Amino acid sequence: MSCHGDLGQGLTDEWRKTSFDPGYQDCWKSGCHGSDAPKNSFEIPATGAPALAGSGALARFSNSLELYNHIQGKMPFSPAGSLSAEQAWALTATILRMNNKQPGGLTLNETNGAAIPLHRKVDLPENEIPGALILTSILLLSAVGLAFRTGPDQAKQASQSARPNFFHHLHPARIPEAQARFLYTLGAGGIAVFLSMILLLTGLLEMYYYIPTPQGAPVSVQTITTLVPFGNLVRNLHFWSAQFLVIVITVHLLRVVLTGSYAPPRHFNYVIGLGLLVFILLLNFTGYMLRWDEGIHWALTVGTNLLKTIPWVGNGLYQFAIGGTSPGSATLTRFYTWHIFGLTLGVVILVAWHAFRVRRDGGIAAPSTGQPAGESITRFDLVKREVLAMVVAGLVLLLFCVIFPAPIGAPISGTNLMPGDSRAPWFFLWIQELLKAGDPFFLGVVTPALVVVVLALLPTIFPNAKNHELGCWLPAGNRVGQVITVVILLTILFLTIKGSIR
């Protein structure tokens, strides 16, 4: 107040005369108070302290985060930088209120400050929780209706009279009842397709607001989260769908191995599914980078620097990945392009190819002979079960999004790209733990590649389940493949948990 006025009018002559003692009204240099001057005593700036409120005030700042950074780093004039983060945010909010720009009901902080402009008033969207709960209730009622809509006889009659549509034709005409049970399939394939559709839709919605530049990316993410109606819910759906998709595809892969379902002629489709998991991990990694906030340091530094450890071609791959010799605006452009076009297109192709191969290979794995007549369900029944699984998955996903918001951090500032506490995204925590043990090339590049290669070669170098063993859990024919897969996944799980609790 002493420098900028009681109303934010600045250090005007009138304010100095009414608030300063006569000996302090013309203090234009440090120490002008003579023998009474404290160490590093203030001086009145030659241009006067600027106005904080009114027309033309704070023109060099565009949003609340920029003003906060200036206050915390350079204010008060003496000693500069002495305010805590809480005090600096409180002053920022005060200045917004002085200019009638503070949104009601919002506590300013580093995860929303960049979204709040200084020179125009913004209104916060309505609370999205009631809408999310209404949608959750609709899904719950839909699940109940699908589960109890008709009895077995009515369902059979409906199946016989109905004509199959496009989605029905993606499934075999009849499926063995024993292998169509949820306890056998776990519903992982259908849920994975459902989560992929959620990712595609929410990603398209986010593209309307996302700005793929180092300055614009974190601001646009905060804007989506804070100001766009239902933007926070859409972002949560996008984030958690991606995380759950990794888990669901991993469970699907484990189910295929533990039931021996990769036996010929399904071994090639198994490799397609494994490739799809790799693509999803890379898609998750690039999406993680697009936040461009303080939480992506591991991905931006350690994750990309692993490419440099590859002999002969490492530096070239690194520059190709980040668009230069060091991270910058080209890095974000590269990752955005890969995320939106390259990897997304690859995932769409692999999902379609995988579904086509399932249909071509005869549907779900089951013994080709000895199946008793009548113990099967139609494609109509299977689609109904899949829709029910998707509705339940959507219900769980929505509840999860309401309770657990997607992570968001302060925008990257300065040149410090590797702070002391830098952690990998959860799906690469196991690699981070491996890197602590030794050589980064062998443990960070070769070992993950070997894991993928070993899993891909299971159908060709180890015995497969026999025909009569298909359609049940833990067939003896591919026991070696089961043990290898379980050991690999348990090791990854152990390292992931270890990395998450440090």
**Identity of the residue numbered 201:** L
Residue 305 has pLDDT above 70, yes or no: yes
3-state secondary structure of 137: helix
Q: Which residues contact 378 (CB under 8 A, 6 or more apart)?
A: 159, 173, 174, 175
The answer as to whether 480 is a domain residue is yes
Tell me, yes or no, whether 138 and 86 share the same domain. Answer: no
Give the number of domains in the chain.
Answer: 2
Of residues 29 and 468, which shows the higher confidence score? 468
145 and 102 both lie in a single domain: no
Domain, as residue range, for 82? 13-115
Q: Please name which of 270, 268, 307 lies closest in space to residue 285, comparing C-alpha atoms.
A: 307
More confident residue, 365 or 441: 441
Identify the pLDDT of residue 161: 52
Cα(482)–Cα(476) distance, integer angstroms: 9
The Cα-based distances of 24 to 17, 49, 65, 501 in angstroms read 9, 15, 33, 56
Return the CATH number at 250: 1.20.810.10
Same domain, 315 and 443: yes
pLDDT for 233 equals 92
**What is residue 151's predicted lDDT score, i.e. its pLDDT?**
47
Claim to verify: residue 58 and residue 195 sit in the same structural domain: no
Among 337-341, 408-412, 456-460, the range scoring the smallest mean pLDDT is: 408-412
Top-confidence range, 181-195, 246-260, 386-400: 246-260
Q: What is the DSSP letter of 81?
A: T
Q: Is the dihedral of CA 191, 197, 201, 203 positive or negative?
A: positive
4 found inside a domain: no
Higher pLDDT, 36 or 205: 205
Instruction: Answer yes or no: is 123 within a domain.
Output: no
**How large is the average pLDDT for residues 312-322?**
93
Q: Are residues 173 and 207 in the same domain?
A: yes
Q: How confident is the model at residue 272 (pLDDT cuts 50, 70, 90)?
A: very high
Asked if 95 and 67 touch (Cβ cutoff 8 Å), the reply is yes
Listed residue (470, 477, 472, 475) closest to 265, CA to CA: 470
Question: For a pLDDT cut of 70, what percent of the chain falls above it?
Answer: 85
Q: What is the dihedral of CA 354, 356, 361, 364, to 10 degrees?
A: 70
- Maximum mean pLDDT: which of 70-79, 226-235, 371-380, 412-421: 226-235
Lowest mean pLDDT among 306-320, 343-357, 374-388: 374-388
Which residue, of 64, 80, 115, is where some domain finishes?
Answer: 115
Asked whether 64 and 102 are in contact (CB, 8 A), the reply is no
Residue 373 in this model has a pLDDT that exceeds 50:
no
Which one of 88, 115, 142 terminates a domain? 115
More confident residue, 26 or 86: 86
Nearest to 307 by CA among 146, 452, 448, 487: 448
Q: What is the pLDDT of residue 137?
A: 79
Spacing of C-alpha 248 from chain mean position: 16
Nearest to 66 by CA among 103, 108, 5, 30: 108
**Residue 7 domain flag:** no
Give the residue, 311 or 149, on which the prediction is more confident: 311
Question: Are 111 and 291 within 8 A, CB to CB?
Answer: no
For residue 121, being part of any structural domain is answered with: no
Asked whether 285 and 426 are in contact (CB, 8 A), the reply is: no
CA distance 331 to 118: 29
For residues 288 and 213, membership in a common domain is answered with yes
Looking at the structure, do residues 169 and 66 belong to the same domain, yes or no? no
Can you name the residues that pair with 378 across neighbouring β-strands? 174
In a domain, 236, yes or no: yes
The residue among 133 and 91 whose pLDDT is bigger is: 91
Q: Which range, 47-61, 161-175, 356-370, has the best average confidence (pLDDT)? A: 47-61
Residues 88 and 133 in one domain: no
CB 351 within 8 A of CB 276: yes
Q: In the chain, what is the straight-line distance between the N-terminal and C-terminal CA atoms, in Å? A: 45
- Block residue for tokens 């919605």: 205
- Looking at the fold, whether 78 and 140 belong to one and the same domain comes out as no
Q: Which of 17-21, 32-36, 70-74, 168-172 has the lowest mean pLDDT?
A: 32-36
143 and 110 in a common domain = no
Query: Does 456 or 327 have the greater pLDDT score?
Result: 456
CA distance 129 to 117: 25
pLDDT digits (tens, 9 = 90+) for 19-63: 777 766 666 655 565 555 555 555 666 666 789 998 889 999 999
Instruction: Say what the pLDDT of residue 166 is.
Output: 62
Lowest mean pLDDT among 164-178, 180-194, 487-501: 164-178
Q: How far apart (Å, rounded) are the C-alpha atoms in residues 199 and 215?
A: 25
Identity of the amino acid at 170: L
Domain end point (choices 54, 88, 115): 115
Judge whether residue 377 has pLDDT over 80: no
User: Looking at the predicted structure, is the pLDDT value of residue 329 above 80?
Assistant: yes
Cis peptide before 265 (omega within 30 of 0): yes
148 and 98 within one domain:
no
Side-chain-side CA neighbours of residue 473 (13 Å): 8
Q: In whole numbers, what is the pLDDT of the chain averaged over residues?
A: 85
- Nearest Cα residue to 355 out of 233, 189, 487: 189
Tell me whether residue 462 is in a domain. yes
Residue 246 Cα to chain centre, angstroms: 11
Mean pLDDT of 368-381: 65
Say what the pLDDT of residue 390 is. Answer: 86
Positive or negative: CA dihedral 470, 475, 481, 485:
positive
Phi first, then psi, for residue 214 (nearest 5°) are: -55, -35
**pLDDT at position 372 over 60:** no
DSSP H or E run through 190 = helix 188-207
67 and 163 together in one domain = no
Res 487: pLDDT: 97
Residue 1 belongs to some domain of the structure = no
* H helix or E strand, kind and range, residue 86: helix 85-98
